[in-house]
Structure 1
């Protein structure tokens, strides 16, 4: 039973890595460059089913002493404007990127003039369209893996 679960997880991870390998181009470089130019904190934002992907990304960033904040809420994705400063860069992980809560986040980003990076399943999602940098994840597994790999590459580049 447990071996079957492990095999299933490995297969999902392998599929996610294959998909991500196809994105290793200038877009990935630009995405990481945008994060590296952050003058404040990296604000990792996740909602609902993306919570674990956000937590994993946040945890990886904090291991390298990156100034960051994890914003997550089950019921409303409306970060308090007092928590996010204009010099912060947002890293949003969301497969859909088109909920009402994301629209609230986009209003905050617009009023604060924050830099916005996003990982969504579609380059045509409202979130992806306004992001300064965007990467595509085809599944929940690839979203989590991509967030983690971005954080790892970012922290290794800083050291």
Structure 2
């Protein structure tokens, strides 16, 4: 029985969103253009459940390049109207269109010349009649069997808010890089903003041996730096190769003697490298492509500036 009830709710709410598709017309275009022209901030306001939906819409707008914030209408009429400025646009949300706290914002809004975009279930309501653009988010029925709890209506309003935000995003040419700037702590932000130089091992933490270093010196350097590899450089500090744990194992399996070998003999030539200003995600792609766990970071001159390891990328959430 519970499953059937759950399916009924989802079907009603899905139908509420589907109905919005055929209802979109020139008013949606007008709303998007009005919001795009906004020289101030988009201020979203609503009471109760509509207010909670409004907070999410404001957050979505802000994170996709449209400066926006939420104004609680009850707080607004008790002193917070100072948050509104002449160049702002108000997005008012009220399913009935008769929410008193929202209606009480109108005299101030009109006096300031602030345009109003309304999301409502009643296009003939007082709020709708006093708005510049009205978006119809009415639903045939609520998912609540008593028709009391806002369910399908809030879902439809949220979907309309998303439609506005994404339409604005596309009109502004908002890109992944822009999104990352607003989400520096998120996964996408890390992937699009973090560069190799931010994660690489440098200075004393960089494993490095000379071309003529002995096999024992190689072992000591790799053990001390704990990256499972070491770079091999010439007399001018330029990269000539790398030595990995695998190189040492294969050398010993062939019966080699570390006491009679140099780093130049052990080194794998032409190692995979990356530039310090490349994105960390580029390092991941190289490691996956060549099935390796570390990359040498070099400048265009060939000078080694660091080493980046797969563990560094995992630890910082790049992978």
After TM superposition, give the deviation of residue 62 of structure 1 in Å: 1.4
Q: Any stretches of 5+ residues in structure 2 without a counterpart?
A: 139-152, 175-319
CA distance in 2, matches of 1:136, 1:63: 25
- Identify the structure with bigger relative contact order (alpha carbons < 8 Å, sequence gap 6+): 1
Partner of 1:109: 109
Partner of 1:19: 19
Question: What TM-score do the two structures reach when normalised by structure 2?
Answer: 0.45
After TM superposition, give the deviation of residue 21 of structure 1 in Å: 0.5
- Structure possessing the higher radius of gyration over alpha carbons: 2
Other structure's SS at 1:45 match: strand
CA distance in 2, matches of 1:72, 1:80: 8
Partner of 1:64: 64
Task: Judge which range, 7-16 or 26-35, deviates more.
Answer: 7-16
Partner of 1:88: 88
CA distance in 2, matches of 1:55, 1:11: 25
RMSD over aligned Cα atoms? 2.2
Cα 1:125–1:57 shift into 2, 3 Å: same
Other structure's SS at 2:97 match: coil
Other structure's SS at 1:85 match: coil
**Any conservation in 2 of the 1:45–1:93 contact (CA below 8 Å)?**
yes
Partner of 1:128: 128
CA distance in 1, matches of 2:8, 2:52: 18
Task: Count the aligned residue pairs.
Answer: 158
1:24-59, CA deviations, whole angstroms, 9 ceiling, x for partnerless residues? 221111111111111100001111121231122112
Partner of 2:162: 148
After TM superposition, give the deviation of residue 150 of structure 1 in Å: 1.5
Cα 1:28–1:83 shift into 2, 3 Å: same
Cα 1:13–1:132 shift into 2, 3 Å: same
Q: Any stretches of 5+ residues in structure 1 without a counterpart?
A: none
Cα 1:51–1:64 shift into 2, 3 Å: same
